[in-house]
Amino acid sequence: MKLKDFRKKMVKSIFSTAEAQLVAFQNNPELTNLQLHQWKKQGELIQLKRGIYMFPNANSSAAQIANALYAPCYISLEYALSFYGILPEAAFVYTLVTPKGTRQFVTPLGTFSYHKIKREAFTGFDGKTLMAEPEKALVDYFYLRGSSFKTTEAFWEESRLDAEGLDFQKIIQYAGLFGSKKLITLLTHFQAYAKTHSNHSGR
């Protein structure tokens, strides 16, 4: 099958080898794999991981790519906190959470790092963009990174977390899904710090 014919028939911008085989059904699987490999070498396809490809000029979002790599998932932690301005530093890795195992995929379009959380806590995100709510991103961050956190004013000052505009009632509700007393304690201390310190980031 010629590439132009394949592109006409393949309605998805991101697809699996199995889906490509359905489109090129007249080919045997070995020939389909060979064609995909050749198109990749020619720059006509991007291989995201073994068995997953996308067209290079596709207008696919990071969420679509992330979901194709390892589903279910949503964008959270440093990437989401940077997106909302809660963390001032730019995030150069797509950080996500999943109820499945921790994984990382290095692709031509960026690194996607997935971190496991409880299935009961897999909520608090937009179903279309897969972006966590700011409150949920913060809770996920505290849960997964909190082992090195300290409940001191000096630590919170150094963390540069901007709590302006956050709903702490929602934060505590989300934290309850994890069943962790330490998480509640950390967030309660951070809330007390945030109440007495004004961090303005322009969010």
- List, for residues 11-28, the tens digit of each pLDDT value: 999 999 999 999 877 778
pLDDT at 201: 37
Below-50 pLDDT ranges, the chain: 199-203
pLDDT at 119: 97
Pairing of strands 74-75, 46-49: unpaired
Rounded-to-integer distance, Cα 142 and Cα 134, Å? 12
pLDDT at 198: 61
Burial (0-12, 13-18, 19+ Cβ within 10 Å), 57 = exposed
- The torsion region of residue 96 among left (phi > 0), alpha (psi -120 to 50) and beta comes to beta
- List, for residues 157-178, the tens digit of each pLDDT value: 999 999 999 999 999 999 999 9
Element (H, E) at 172: helix 168-176
pLDDT at 44: 96
Domain locations along the chain: 3-60, 63-196
